[in-house]
Structure 1
Amino acid sequence: MEQSAWRFSDDRGQLSTAPSPPSRVVAYIQAGATLEDLGVRPAAVFGSFHDDWTEPDPAKIGALPRDGISYLGAGSGLSVDALLSTGPDLVVAVSYGGGQVYGLDPEVAKHLEERVPVVVLDVGQARSLADIRGRFADLARSLGASREDAAALTDAEERLRTVAARTPSPRVLALSPADPDQVHIARPGAWPELRGLAGHGVHLIDPGAGPGANWLTAPWETAAGLRPDIVLADVRCNAAPLDTLRSQASWRALEEHAHVLAWNPESPCSARAHAAFFGAVADALEGV
């Protein structure tokens, strides 16, 4: 049976077309993990300038199988030829606003689009968690998949609202360890996932005035002084590993007085991943 033509308009308003739905997808690792959750297995993934060149970030890989999917590299060494090496008929990337492709040098992104359709979906602070999730679901459906796990997400959201409504409300601080001396404290309004928690009643701590749109970079004493009950700690490879911080008195104070929960700020944008995240936060709230 003849397949119909494929068309998809991305979050830049750019229309990509093909004679039939693409079947060999190369994706930024967050987008690839999302598509995997939705029933579209990518042929290959690539990382960002923060990622390791030779190995995918374990925090970002999600449900992607370690074998059978190529990792093409990351950063300034990622060339057009490398991105095209597995013969993709579609590249899926993300943006944090302004339409700029995240993780690729602008010249690489430009020349890539001359060779293969590129779909860019916005995961930045201007979008709600539901909007981001919906756009990835739209893309997956256009590629022939329909797995969404909506019921599990609805249940997780209802449970989170119930637990968060209890009093007193535990205080939640999201952060990314920089080194033993400094920490990046998340501004909750800048992160769709954190705004999603707040929308269900979770008490997120704002670090207050200072430089930085997404993070306030400060000494560890500042984070400890905010007295959180729960800490969402960034565990991506670009963050300082938590076990290297235990010689630091302020981190020990946080661990002693707060429940520390691993957090991936680039988690898959799927109902499955969001249900798991909301469930983990609900577990932590119940345990405080």
Structure 2
Amino acid sequence: MSGAQAWGFTDDRGTELGAARVPRRVIAYVRAGAALCDLGVTPVAVYGSGHDGESLDPAKEGGLRAAGVTYLGPGRALDEGRLRELRPDVIVDVTYDGKSPYALDEAVADRIGIPLVALSVGNELTLSAILDRFGALAVSLGAVSQGAVSQEAVSQEAVSRGDAAAAGSSTGLRAAEELLREAAAAGGFAVLALSGAGPGQVHLARPHAWPELARLAELGVRLVDPGPGPGANWLTADWGRAAELRPDLVLFDSRAHATAPDGALSGVRSTPWNPETPPSPAAYARFFRDLAAALAP
């Protein structure tokens, strides 16, 4: 593209996207939209995945509801007429396979002539790389560089208090990571991440398959691997299998479609985990800070 206001961005499928001007009206998958909202780009609307219903999942909303962002329902059932009425300049989704957008059929974007950006959230990238990519997209859409924010001095005390400005910067994330590193070293707890699928079934997370869980391991959190069996990201089993792994702390999927830990895990500490945490420093600083508190002796 040419001209002072031209916009260009290459997404994580290798698709080169461009427009005659910087997109201002952004519609996004809820996870991507919540991240962009944290990073200084407020979408005009967001849509959900096949797991989502007609109301915005509180576990996924981040700052979207407070910012007055419209929720359109599941992406695969999106009303194209409503989408056209919103006059988007760009659509932002995520991809797990590096090929296809996760929550919206790309043909929808093609039919209305809107560029679709898909950023990877799969385990081929580290958490740091994922955050960098969302930061780069936000900057291309007019947000202030997070690098500029990260030059501010941010104390661990401010992060532990939940100071929003501190947690919103890269420095705030690093301080939250240090809090978590200290808590993990002090407690030594065995941590099991899971997603409840009803009274007779649970999905047990394979730590290496999730960028944020891999980062927890790097910070010293002792994550429990569910062992051999089918499934790349999850091992599906009954709740008795989860209890047999003898976790000291359970990270339970807090999304609306998941169920709470079963009675087989009664007496085991638990703390929420959103497997679709918005890829922003602020969101992960909050998660790491909350986990550090849960790991306290």
TM-score higher than 0.5? yes
Structure 1 runs of 4+ off > 6 angstroms? Answer: none
Residue 286 (structure 2) pairs with residue 252 (structure 1):
no
RMSD of aligned alpha carbons: 1.7
Residue 17 of structure 1: aligned partner: 18
Cα distance in 1, alignment partners of residues 109 and 244 from structure 2: 43
Query: How many pairs were matched up?
Result: 273
Give secondary structure in 1 for the equivalent of 2:295: helix
Give secondary structure in 1 for the equivalent of 2:85: coil
Residue 129 of structure 1: aligned partner: 127
Contact 1:37/1:147 (<8 A) preserved: no
Residue 72 of structure 2: aligned partner: 72
Cα distance in 1, alignment partners of residues 9 and 66 from structure 2: 29
Give secondary structure in 2 for the equivalent of 1:276: helix
Using the TM superposition, give the Cα deviation of residue 106 of structure 1 relative to its aligned residue in structure 2, in angstroms: 5.2
1:107-186 alignment to 2 at 5 Å? Answer: 107-108=107-108, 110-111=110-111, 115-146=113-144, 148=146, 149-166=169-186, 169-186=188-205
Cα distance in 2, alignment partners of residues 120 and 173 from structure 1: 30
Residue 196 of structure 1, aligned match among 212, 215, 231: 215
Cα distance in 2, alignment partners of residues 178 and 76 from structure 1: 22
Cα distance in 2, alignment partners of residues 272 and 102 from structure 1: 23
Using the TM superposition, give the Cα deviation of residue 281 of structure 1 relative to its aligned residue in structure 2, in angstroms: 1.1
Give secondary structure in 2 for the equivalent of 1:154: helix
Residue 269 of structure 1: aligned partner: 279
Contact 2:122/2:210 (<8 A) preserved: yes
Residue 248 of structure 1: aligned partner: none
Cα distance in 2, alignment partners of residues 47 and 129 from structure 1: 22
Residue 150 of structure 2: aligned partner: none
Cα distance in 1, alignment partners of residues 106 and 248 from structure 2: 42
TM-score normalised by the chain length of structure 1: 0.90
TM-score normalised by the chain length of structure 2: 0.87
Cα distance in 1, alignment partners of residues 199 and 256 from structure 2: 16
Give secondary structure in 2 for the equivalent of 1:286: coil
**Which structure 2 residue ranges, 5 or more long, are not aligned?**
147-168
Distance 1:147 1:58, change over 3 A: farther
Using the TM superposition, give the Cα deviation of residue 232 of structure 1 relative to its aligned residue in structure 2, in angstroms: 0.5
Structure 1 residues 53-97: Cα deviation after superposition (integer angstroms, max 9, x where no partner): x21111111111257322112154224434333110010010001
Q: Percent identity?
A: 50
Q: Which moved more, 1:26-35 or 1:16-25?
A: 16-25
Cα distance in 2, alignment partners of residues 46 and 75 from structure 1: 5
Distance 1:30 1:211, change over 3 A: same
